[in-house]
Amino acid sequence: MAILTTTAREAGPAVPGRPAGPRRYSVRRRRVGENLTGHAFLFGAVLCFAFFAWYPMIRGVIMSFQRTRRGETTWVGWDNYQRIVDDPAFATAWKNTLYFTVLALIIGYAVPFFVAVLLNEFRHAKGYLRVLVYLPVMLPPASALFLFKYYAYDPSDAGLFNAILKGLHLPTSQWMQSTTMTMPAMVLASTWMNMGGAVLIYLAALQNIPGDLYEAAELDGAGIWKRIRHVTIPQTRLILSLMAMLQIVATMQLFIEPLILANGAGAQDSALSVAYLIYQHGFFQNDLNGAAALGVIMLAVLGGFSAVYVRLFSK
């Protein structure tokens, strides 16, 4: 009896709502085990980001202030930046990249939204149409672009687009061999190749809009365009603003389209982009320090744009 009394006294008084003795220790151990498991997964993700993203980024910044010649590395300060900015191709690459971004906002940003609105109005074969729209995303980007290059953009009458223009009695085009049609052709191919994911995101946002709003608009006599303007766009403005920022950041990193469709820079550098210019400096000219400097400039531009955009549209 004395032993039991002493044990109970050492365990302390029972507190309502709190497990006592071995049970409390078991609950605490289980919580610690769950936290350790979660932190282990988190540590793995952070380690992957650190090794494959953050370290190359920091290493690139360091290399941009260095010059390596015959295995010897020296610090040169801002010389690499000055040399890159003085290169005539620098201005051409930025002009082409901005031109592509503007065209992509007009075509590649608007088309997926209106395709999603159209698919949302269908009552039958929804699943089939969604798979049809998403199908290009499942193709490897290189395969999709080669399909456009050799089947759609063939400069002869055998090309799909030239055959359509000829059937409509319109003048044909050289497409990727033309200095004026290179960028629109790349935007068209990029839009077809990437719009499936954006369409699914817009469809998810559209299905969260209460149907009562559309019914009220129809009772007020609003047509489809007024319903889109006054109901659909205001209700999806958050996802629209987010997708606009992602669209700009992605299109500013234009690389695979000129590489495959225009064989690099295109006719008279009409397809030269900033990302492809980095590739040229790094792998054609063996100028890794200059490529790093140009990459840091692009990082600063996109980072500054993202910060300003988030600040302006934070509400």
Whether the per-residue pLDDT at 206 is higher than 60: the answer is yes
Whether the per-residue pLDDT at 1 is higher than 50: the answer is no
Whether the per-residue pLDDT at 61 is higher than 80: the answer is yes
pLDDT tens digits for 275-290? 999 999 999 888 899 9
pLDDT of 12 = 47
Q: Is the pLDDT higher at 177 or at 30?
A: 177
Whether the per-residue pLDDT at 30 is higher than 50: the answer is yes
Could you tell me which of 299, 305, 300, 292 has the C-alpha nearest to residue 78?
Answer: 292
pLDDT tens digits for 76-131? 889 999 999 998 999 999 999 999 999 998 888 889 998 888 888 777 777 788 88
pLDDT of 11 = 46
Q: Work out the mean pLDDT of the chain and round it to a whole number.
A: 84
Share of the chain above pLDDT 90, in %: 23
Q: Is the pLDDT higher at 175 or at 15?
A: 175
Domain residue extents for the chain: 87-312
Q: Is the pLDDT higher at 23 or at 291?
A: 291
pLDDT of 10 = 43
pLDDT tens digits for 147-183? 888 888 888 777 888 888 888 888 888 888 888 889 9
How many angstroms separate the Cα of 85 from the Cα of each of 176, 200, 297, 302?
A: 28, 40, 10, 17
Q: What are phi and psi of 68, to 5 degrees?
A: -110, 120
pLDDT of 315 = 67
Q: What are phi and psi of 72, to 5 degrees?
A: -105, 130
Whether the per-residue pLDDT at 136 is higher than 90: the answer is no
Whether the per-residue pLDDT at 14 is higher than 60: the answer is no
Q: Which superfamily does CATH assign the domain made up of 87-312 to? A: MetI-like (1.10.3720.10)
**The two structure tokens encoding residue 149:** 């290059």
Could you tell me which of 241, 225, 223, 277 has the C-alpha nearest to residue 96?
Answer: 277
**The two structure tokens encoding residue 234:** 């205001």
Whether the per-residue pLDDT at 227 is higher than 50: the answer is yes
